[in-house]
């Protein structure tokens, strides 16, 4: 099969294609049009914009922020620990990167998210750099642009989850493996096993499943399967596990030292138990049960879904590329049984990176992210093919029609929803946002007959849409009562008389109020926090030492009664909060300080 890069045939090593590549073609390929720089700048701005001002997203991001803070404070870089964060523990690479970022930029939201920003930037760069030898420069460039202006990928750079780092190493590992298949070289082998080692340290099994599964399917179906022998997984696979094994040993040694200090001994056979003689033993048994056994055999925290869940997720992830989405799906299914050798690479990537996860009962949107570079490359190939064929014009029209319908609704609904939620003042920026998107959408639809212009306008619309959504929607969310935890600590700081040495005390927080970001912000502002029952909190309040109480629903009535009995006015500030994990039901806080209250 022959793919085209505009007027330039897709690069492959046969005489027919070589005759069609001219000096002018290579000269043009070395020069990037202004459009590419525009998308690049927009992509970087989208990743960095407002990362410093958007507060922590509970629960995972706040837990990871806590892990990084604890590593810096205690010097323990082995086991991630933080209050209320037991279920968020993972292998440590991402937490190491957060702690290092804190060292460089300070302990703040911007530093917390910087590792994810760099991971997403490098992922798109690797799709271009390592996709070039396999699929041609223009196709690889288009794929990188598609990823950069999609929905889910840029958002992953704005939230400090492990998934961005995992995707980086998955992409490096897969593209190194595919390049090795065609041009065996030590550099591709190094890239493959380095990515495997780092991916295991980020999140454990997912990268083994992706690259290992692809290796097996390539060995069965690909005509160049013999080259895979040179990757020597039976040797380098063990080396890739070595960093993870070293971390496990360090963690085990730390446990042994702890037990020796308490005068106990722990047999090796008991190490994999969750408890031994009533004591908690180790992180690894938890990781094995929570992240492997439970997710294979069921789900955790209700994280399940229907068959086809990940297809829906991927469709939303590429919603800004809907005009070309149906073409890509059609080509993928059409090529499934008789693909060319290069398309076969991407089909196998999709089977393991996406289709495999449809059979898992445990489901999260991030599971299928590893397939997104493959889909972007397939989409780029279809766009190149569309430049020379008109057979798919009906499917393109269907995609454009649905695209226009969805984003017309978005353009109309955004100002209405903003006014409904927060009032007429939101029109100041939501109305201009809708007008800009309307102009870009009309321009896009007018270029539907020119594939290159349609591609460029789609990319610009996607990039601008993500920028405007983040700029306009995040302030609305920040001012709502579902993200009030940083506001609680700001009020507590005011109640303390802006005394960072004041005691910060949490009391009576119900299970829906025990949010990790509350602790992170408290520790950032006051340096420490305490948790007390209501009677102890009352005694601490009555002491001469400066103290601030953050009161939850479980303690508000007893404390009000205690204040009344002590003849002290309960002049607490009420902070509205609606729990996102309890159908937005109210779980409000009260903040009161003893500055000026006790004589």
CA–CA distance, 200 with 268 (Å, rounded to integer): 24
Nearest-angstrom CA–CA distance, 142 and 206: 27
**What is the sign of the dihedral through the CA atoms of 405, 410, 415 and 417?**
positive
Tokens of 157: 């750079």
Token code pair at residue 81: 């620990």
Task: Report the alpha-carbon distance of residue 93 to residue 96 in Å, rounded.
Answer: 5
Provide the pLDDT for residue 264.
Answer: 57
* pLDDT for the residue 336: 74
User: In three state form, how does the secondary structure of 401-466 look?
Assistant: HHHHHHHHHHHHHHHHHHHHHHCHHHHHHHHHHHHHHHHHHHHHHHCCCCHHHHHHHHHHHHHHHH
**For 71-91, b where at least 16 C-beta lie within 10 A, e where not — what string?**
beeeeeebbbebbbbeebbbb
The total of other beta-carbon atoms located within 10 Å of residue 287's CB is 16
Give which of 58, 30, 25, 54 is closest to 582, Cα–Cα: 58
Q: b/e for 464-486, b at 16 or more Cβ within 10 A?
A: bbbbbbbebebbeebeeeebbbb
**pLDDT score of 428:** 80
Q: In this structure, what are the phi and psi dihedrals at residue 482, rounded to the nearest 5 degrees?
A: -95, -10
- CB half-sphere exposure, 260, CA atoms < 13 A: 6
Cβ-in-10-Å burial (0-12, 13-18, 19+) of 17 comes to: middle
What pLDDT sits at residue 298? 72
Query: According to the model, what pLDDT value does residue 91 have?
Result: 93
pLDDT tens across the length of the chain (599 residues): 333 333 333 333 344 334 433 444 434 445 678 899 999 999 999 999 999 989 998 789 999 999 999 999 999 999 899 999 888 889 999 999 999 999 999 999 999 999 999 999 999 999 999 999 999 999 999 999 999 999 999 999 999 999 999 999 999 999 999 999 999 999 999 999 999 999 999 998 999 999 999 999 999 999 999 999 999 999 999 999 999 999 988 888 887 776 666 555 555 444 444 444 444 556 777 777 777 777 777 777 777 888 899 999 999 999 999 989 988 888 888 777 777 788 999 999 999 999 989 988 888 889 999 999 999 999 999 999 888 775 567 888 888 999 999 999 989 988 887 788 667 877 887 888 899 999 999 999 888 888 899 999 999 999 999 998 888 778 878 888 888 899 999 999 999 999 999 999 999 999 999 999 999 999 999 999 999 999 999 999 999 899 999 999 999 999 999 999 989 999 999 999 999 888 889 999 999 999 866 55
CATH class of 485-593: alpha beta
CA–CA separation, 207 and 169 (whole Å)? 8
Q: Which residue ranges does the chain devote to CATH 3.40.190?
A: 485-593
Q: At what angle do helices 93-105 and 186-203 cross, to 10 degrees?
A: 90
DSSP H or E run through 204: none
């Amino acid at each position: 099969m022959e793919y085209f890069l505009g007027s330039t045939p897709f690069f492959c090593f046969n005489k027919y294609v070589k005759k069609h590549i001219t000096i002018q073609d290579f000269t043009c390929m070395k020069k990037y049009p202004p459009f590419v720089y525009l998308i690049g700048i927009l992509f970087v701005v989208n990743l960095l914009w407002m990362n410093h001002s958007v507060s922590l997203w509970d629960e995972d991001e706040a837990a990871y922020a806590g892990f990084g803070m604890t590593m810096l404070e205690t010097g323990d870089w082995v086991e991630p620990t933080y209050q209320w964060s037991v279920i968020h523990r993972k292998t440590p690479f991402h937490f190491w990167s957060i702690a290092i970022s804190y060292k460089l930029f300070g302990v703040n939201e911007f530093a917390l998210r910087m590792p994810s920003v760099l991971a997403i930037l490098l992922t798109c760069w690797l799709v271009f750099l390592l996709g070039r030898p396999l699929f041609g420069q223009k196709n690889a460039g288009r794929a990188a642009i598609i990823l950069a202006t999609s929905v889910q990928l840029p958002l992953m750079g704005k939230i400090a989850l492990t998934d961005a780092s995992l995707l980086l190493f998955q992409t490096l590992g897969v593209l190194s493996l595919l390049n090795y298949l065609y041009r065996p070289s030590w550099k591709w082998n190094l890239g493959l096993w380095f990515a495997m080692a780092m991916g295991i340290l980020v999140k454990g099994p997912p990268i083994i499943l992706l690259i290992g599964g692809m290796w097996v399917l390539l060995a069965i179906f690909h005509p160049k399967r013999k080259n895979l022998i040179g990757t020597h997984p039976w040797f380098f696979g063990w080396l890739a596990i070595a960093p993870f094994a070293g971390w496990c040993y360090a963690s085990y040694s730390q446990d042994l030292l702890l037990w020796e200090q308490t005068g106990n001994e722990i047999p090796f056979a008991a190490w994999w138990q969750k408890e031994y003689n009533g004591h908690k033993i180790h992180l690894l048994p938890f990781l094995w049960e929570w992240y492997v056994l439970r997710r294979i055999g069921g789900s955790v925290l209700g994280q399940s879904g229907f068959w086809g869940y990940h297809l829906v997720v991927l469709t939303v992830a590429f919603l800004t590329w809907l005009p070309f989405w149906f073409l890509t799906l059609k080509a993928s299914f059409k090529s499934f049984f008789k693909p060319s050798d290069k398309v076969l690479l991407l089909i196998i990537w999709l089977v393991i990176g996406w289709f495999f996860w449809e059979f898992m009962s445990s489901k999260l949107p991030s599971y299928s992210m590893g397939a997104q570079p493959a889909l972007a490359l397939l989409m780029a190939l279809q766009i190149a093919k569309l430049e020379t064929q008109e057979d798919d014009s009906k499917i393109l029209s269907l995609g454009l029609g649905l695209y226009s319908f969805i984003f017309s609704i978005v353009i109309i609904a955004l100002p209405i929803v903003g006014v409904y939620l927060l009032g007429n003042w939101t029109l100041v920026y939501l109305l201009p946002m809708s007008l800009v998107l309307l102009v870009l959408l009309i321009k896009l639809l007018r270029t539907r007959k020119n594939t290159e212009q349609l591609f460029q306008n789609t990319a610009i619309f996607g990039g601008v849409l993500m920028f405007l959504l983040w700029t306009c929607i995040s302030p609305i969310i920040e001012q709502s009562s579902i993200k009030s935890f940083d506001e609680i600590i700001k009020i507590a700081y005011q109640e303390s008389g802006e005394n960072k040495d004041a005691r910060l005390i949490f009391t009576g927080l119900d299970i829906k109020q025990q949010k990790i970001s509350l602790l992170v912000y408290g520790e950032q502002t006051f340096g420490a926090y305490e948790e007390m029952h209501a009677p102890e909190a009352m005694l601490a309040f009555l002491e001469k030492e400066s103290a601030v109480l953050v009161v939850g629903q479980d303690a508000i009535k007893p404390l009000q009664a205690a204040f009344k009995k002590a003849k002290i006015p309960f002049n607490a500030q009420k902070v509205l909060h609606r729990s996102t994990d309890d159908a937005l039901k109210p779980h409000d806080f009260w903040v009161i300080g003893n500055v000026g209250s006790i004589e």
